[in-house]
Amino acid sequence: MSEERNTELEAVAELAKRRGFFFQSSGAYGGVSGFFTYGPQGAALKRNLEDAWRDRFVTREGHMEISAPDVMPEPVFEASGHLDGFDDMIIECPECGESHRADHLVEDNSDVEDAEAIPIEEVQELIADLGLVCPACGTELAGEPVEEFNLMFETSIGPGSSQPGYLRPETAQGIFVEFPRLKEYARGQLPFGVAQIGNAYRNEISPRRALVRVREFTQAELEHFIDPEEDEPPIERVADVELPLYSAREQDKDDGELQQLTVEEALDEAVITSPWVAYYLGLATGWYERIGVDMSRFRYRQHLSGERAHYAADCWDAEAELGGDWIEITGFAYRSDYDLSKHGEYSGDDFTIFKQYDEPQTVERATVDPDMSVLGPEFGGAAADVREALQALAERDPDAFDADTVEVDVDGDTYTVDTDVANFSVEEVTQAGEHITPHVVEPSFGVGRLVYTVLTHAYGEDEVAGETRSYLSVPTELAPTFACVAPLVSNDADLVERAEDVLDRLRSAGFEVDYDESGSIGRRYRRQDEVGTPFCVTVDHETLEQEEYDAATVTLRDRDSTEQARVPVGDLVAILSELRAGETTFAELLSDPNVHRVA
């Protein structure tokens, strides 16, 4: 971690706490690691960020959005694999009792990079070989067992003979598990997408780095259900978008580099294999820019083959640089039919889509119709199983029935059946379509990490009028407060009255506006700069001098440049609307002949 970046994170953490973006929860009781509360500024910023996500990935793409519960029953996680496989490696200090992530200990104290992918016994050996000690108390950890620790929070649902429940470790399961119903809302037609913004929970062994590794967090996930054989993304919409790609191939090299490729080039050169994943990388790139991610501190990193879930064909993470480290802010995964197949298998419900052929298709189907009056007496209780085995054989290997007898295995025993008795035949069947299990493309965004990234990348310090100023240059769309209205001084009733009138006007016009009259005007500007308020409107004595109300001018100050313009009150709503919609910039405004720059 570079010192400068480190200082940046410390400044952001201090600002976040002091000005109400976020802070560790329950501080009065000493706090609990991994739980954060968003204060008034942070909650507003987070909400604006979620709205921007909804606009881009749900509304404009025509997808559905649902809201499912946080607590889900055990069978869901038996099927999803979380009950068995959602573990981290833990090692407990024999002296102080503190628990640590074994893989992180190894990574922090050696050149090993992806210790999570190493078998647990080897990690235990590495800890001994490296002579690692407890970071809390310094006790030797050699010989201590490394164990699997399931990261789901468990609870009990209902009284008495209660059933186990879990806080969902990802919002995605709330979508997958409702697929049988969701497909009805989509009228049984692929492709369709279902999104959810909601909380997820992971009982992290060592929460760390502010909002990066926490125990309760917000995800914005989109599950796009597609027919892998037919559906294609509208790639032309994003073909020319430039992607900063750090491919698995480059990561494996000693001198691996970031490649700047357009979506089209990345697909042509097979750097990205799935057009769906490429589509979403293209879509997301513009969105990261929109919400204020510094694209010079951003990259897409492909998962290494060992890092990928076995069912995932291609995975890329969007990563942002924070404090010198690359932090995953979004995962883009092609999850194949894994999730829906598992839930279909475990629940017995129908997780498929009936795919209608363009025209009904005639297919040959081999069937048997065994004479049970022969099979029954001959095989007794096994007769029904033998019939099933014969049908399976007919479908698998119809030629077998050319012989006089066929043999089938049932539970390890071999049964021989006369072909005559089997009544084998091949029928022509007309099928209108077939049942397919959709594949899933999943962009999964960590909302808290995005908030943290936006804050950190927006944070800046400069010098204004000989004093150091800290400011947040967050995009207008995300700013907790759009504008602040203030009288130049608070002890002049005329100024205050006029300022309150301007405030009412702006609120009536639908702007999110604050009012502030405490302290000197310079101090108020600093305060607004620190929470990222793009514009400040000040009513001063010159405002009162002008007789005609709408012609009276107020000063409008720009957060980023700290420049000020005098604009007529009557034009204020129109000017702010244009600034908010991005139809004009403050620099353009200053060059308007009707606007006077304030020296």
Interface with a second copy in residues 505-544 (CB under 8 A) = 507, 512, 518
Q: Decide whether 499 or 552 has the Cβ nearer to a second copy.
A: 499
36 binds a second copy (CB under 8 A): yes
- Residues in region 320-349 near a second copy by CB under 8 A: 343, 346-347, 349
Q: Residue 370 in 3-state DSSP?
A: coil
Q: Decide whether 249 or 507 has the Cβ nearer to a second copy.
A: 507
92 binds a second copy (CB under 8 A): yes
Angle at 217 between CA 207 and CA 203, to 5 degrees: 45
User: For residue 408, what are the β-bridge partners?
Assistant: 415
- Residues in region 139-198 near a second copy by CB under 8 A: 149, 153-161, 163, 165, 167, 174, 177-182, 184-185, 187, 194
Cβ contact 219:446 at 8 Å: yes
Q: Decide whether 251 or 347 has the Cβ nearer to a second copy.
A: 347
What residue has token string 């095989």? 379
351 binds a second copy (CB under 8 A): yes
354 binds a second copy (CB under 8 A): no
Q: Which DSSP symbol is given to 4?
A: H
Q: Which DSSP symbol is given to 398?
A: G
Cβ contact 566:595 at 8 Å: yes
Cβ contact 587:564 at 8 Å: no
438 binds a second copy (CB under 8 A): no
Cα separation, 520 vs 375, whole angstroms: 98
Instruction: Please work out the total of residues on this chain that contact a second copy, with binding judged by CB under 8 A.
Output: 80
216 binds a second copy (CB under 8 A): yes
In the stretch 471-490, what mask flags binding to a second copy with x, by CB under 8 A?
--------------------
Cα separation, 6 vs 20, whole angstroms: 21
Cβ contact 167:196 at 8 Å: no
68 binds a second copy (CB under 8 A): yes
Window contacting a second copy (CB under 8 A); options: 22-30, 109-117, 253-261, 587-595? 22-30
What residue has token string 């012609």? 551
- Residues in region 237-276 near a second copy by CB under 8 A: none
Minimum separation from the CB atom of position 479 to a second copy (A): 15
Q: Decide whether 261 or 450 has the Cβ nearer to a second copy.
A: 450
99 binds a second copy (CB under 8 A): yes
Minimum separation from the CB atom of position 231 to a second copy (A): 18
Window contacting a second copy (CB under 8 A); options: 37-45, 261-269, 457-465, 543-551? 37-45
Cα separation, 98 vs 91, whole angstroms: 9
27 binds a second copy (CB under 8 A): yes
Window contacting a second copy (CB under 8 A); options: 13-21, 112-120, 129-137, 263-271? 13-21
446 binds a second copy (CB under 8 A): no
Q: Which two tokens stand for residue 55?
A: 């606009």
Residue 85, CA distances (Å) to 148, 170, 283, 309 in order: 9, 14, 32, 11
Looking at residue 88, its amino acid is D
Cβ contact 163:157 at 8 Å: yes
Rg (CA), the chain: 31
Minimum separation from the CB atom of position 214 to a second copy (A): 9
